[in-house]
Amino acid sequence: MSTYQLIKLFVTSGKGAGEDFASELARRAIKQLPGPISGQTILDLGAGPCIYSESLRQAGAIVVSSEIDIDELLRSPFDPERPLVADGRELPFRDRVFDGVVCSNVLEHTPDPFTIIDEIGRVLKFGGWSYISWTNWLSPWGGHAVAPLHYLGAQRSVKIWKQLFGNPRGKNLPFSGVWPTYIGRTIRYVRTHPRLELVDAYPRYWSKLKIIMKIPGLREVFSWNCVLIVRVKTQS
């Protein structure tokens, strides 16, 4: 599926909420992981209905699916082998147990995104990797249920939306289901992290245009969704 077709599916499925869109995005993400994953033990952090977990399993990985909302796990069309209800900010695993962590579209759904990054670094083995993606706040869909009115401000956007359209649909409202998260701040945090190092950064839907990620301001808007590939330092 081309990038144009993917974006079309994104828009027609309701801001990326459709299962077909999520399945296609999961397949693309697997291809972008840093190397073969067959036989690796991988945490799907913020697994939702386990669509990524299933794609990882089909690629030969041993998958643990972690999700804070049990209703998300229960609506999974698959039968995940290792589902777990857990908060990504305080994972119930000992240190250095996973070869990889996939964390797709999670950081914007917590007020403590850097705590999740810390936990990713803690549970990864030496040399382990993580695929981290999220919808940054200043992207066109950053406001989720009230996008694009979030450009008017997180709190003001809800008030104006109600005046124009009634109550917003969905649970991802500013400061309740989605929080402002920025690319620049997140990259700086990873680069100064005592255990992690940044391997790559690119816009998720058009990965060949990674030059965008080098331009502050522009990347916050035009990346739409950011991907970071990080790895545990060999000595940390």
Q: 207 pLDDT exceeds 50? A: yes
Q: 9 pLDDT exceeds 50? A: no
pLDDT digits (tens, 9 = 90+) for 171-180: 899 999 999 9
State the alpha helices, DSSP H only, in 59-145: 70-74, 113-123
**Cis link prior to 92 (omega < 30° from 0)?**
no
Structure-derived torsion over alpha carbons of residues 185, 190, 193, 199, reported in degrees to the nearest 10: -160
Q: 15 pLDDT exceeds 80? A: no
What is the rounded average pLDDT of the residues 107-112? 96
User: Does the pTM exceed 0.85?
Assistant: yes
Q: What are the chain's domains?
A: 3-136+181-232 (3.40.50.150), 143-177 (no CATH)
Decide: 138 and 220 in contact? Cβ < 8 Å.
yes
What is the rounded average pLDDT of the residues 97-120? 97
* pLDDT for position 19: 66
* Helix, strand or coil, per DSSP, at residue 93: coil
Q: 3 pLDDT exceeds 70? A: no
